[in-house]
Structure 1
Amino acid sequence: MSVLISMATFALASSITPGPVNIVALSAGLRFGFGASMRHVLGATLGFTLLLVLIGFGLHETLQQWPFLTRGIQWAGVAFLLYMAWKLATDDGRLSVEHARARPTMLTGAIMQWLNPKAWLACIAGMGAFVGDGQAVLIWQFAGLYLVICYLSLGCWAYAGARLSRYLDRPARIRGFNRCMAASLLGCAGYLLLP
């Protein structure tokens, strides 16, 4: 039982802390409301859980054999973060029919996790700490715990964004908020570029 509590604590600490996916969930909650942003949350949760399971069953060893793949994933993650930051920074802050079509999707959430270095590190560290011997039962238990905890954690960020919408009721305020979120994403991308 103590292993499951430790797994749950690790999952909560790595899921609830700020990162690129959390920032996008917060921004999506603000822009589109809680319900619409939950598509992003579900996609990100499923994408993360799939990554966790694959790393548990050996993807990490493959990446160690071919380190250029790891570097490629890192560069793709930086590019994606820069793209998301650009989209937030150039947003005009107005809610319109055109923006309604650009609602967050499950696919975007899943892709973000696969390009998110924080997700890769959490998966590798978590599997190394709790499932070092590769026991399938532990991998599935850890994935099940993470699925629930990640979904609820990201959902909290989306909910916080939806609650903020009452204070960010003008295009200028939304633009300011989006630019702060863009700066946060740029900070995440810059951190990845450090040696």
Structure 2
Amino acid sequence: MSLLSSALSMSAFALAASISPGPVNLVCLSSGTRYPLARGLVFVTGATLGFIALFLAIGFGLGALLAERPELERWLTVAGVLFLLYLCVQLARDDGRLDTCDAQRAPGFVSGALMQWLNPKAWLASAAGIGAFAGSDTAYIALFAALYLPICWLSLSAWVLAGASLRSVVNQPRVLRAINRVLAVLLASSCLLLLL
């Protein structure tokens, strides 16, 4: 496979994995509805860089360690699911009032980066992408990460922008409460799928 066709394949994979619904995407959507756009983009930047760090760690050896020690992978899945269930509870308990939103409580850079390390979708996307397109070739892993970076950032930003565009629709507490509860159920459902 030529370098160009590999890069195109990697980019298509990165887009599909980044734009498809997942825990981080749902937090981006919720953040867009509740907080100023700039706060959402801070979270997006942290989540993107956290994902790239995870991707490179898996590509440069962490994936091999997990293959040797499957109990570590199970532990990471359980920790990730517990964290996601915590987020579900927070979403479900939200009162839906935008006027009480404190921008200082918005998910930030560090929470975005850490969330990726606890996000089972991020682990699966990294391992699957590296296995399919890069293997142990360090140059291909670096190329894949360089392509993933802007694609991931733009994809997550699209979710924040979608949330911001919904802000005028969800300005009634009962509407936002209903949306938050639907998002909580979707997130909890994704947790169940990860445990199967």
Q: Return structure 1 stretches of 4+ with deviation > 2 angstroms.
A: 95-101
- Mapped partners of 2:112, 2:49: distance in 1: 9
Aligned residue identity for 2:95: D
Runs (5+) with no aligned partner, structure 2 = none
Which structure 1 segments of 5+ residues have no match?
none
| 1:192 correspondence with 2:194 | yes
SS of 1:43's equivalent in the other structure is helix
Rounded to whole Å, the distance in 2 between the matches of 1:111 and 1:179 is 24
Give the Cα–Cα distance (whole angstroms) in 2 for the partners of residues 57 and 176 of structure 1: 43
Pairwise CA distance, 1:98: 5.9
The residue that corresponds to 2:78 in the other structure is 75
**1:1-195 alignment runs, 5 A limit:** 1-96=4-99, 99-132=102-135, 134-194=136-196
Which whole-Å CA distance do the structure 1 matches of 2:148 and 2:137 have between them?
A: 17
Moved more, 29-38 or 85-94: 29-38
TM-score (norm 1): 0.95
In structure 2, distance between residues paired with 1:57 and 1:101: 36
Count of matched residue positions in the alignment of Structure 1 and Structure 2: 193
TM normalised by structure 2 equals: 0.95
Report the CA distance between 1:100 and its aligned residue: 2.9
- Taking only the aligned residue pairs, the percentage that are identical comes to 50
- Give the letter aligned to residue 104 of structure 1: P
Matched-pair contact (CA < 8 Å) for 2:36–2:103: no
Amino acid in structure 1 at the alignment position of 2:137:
Q
- Shift, 1:97, TM fit: 5.0
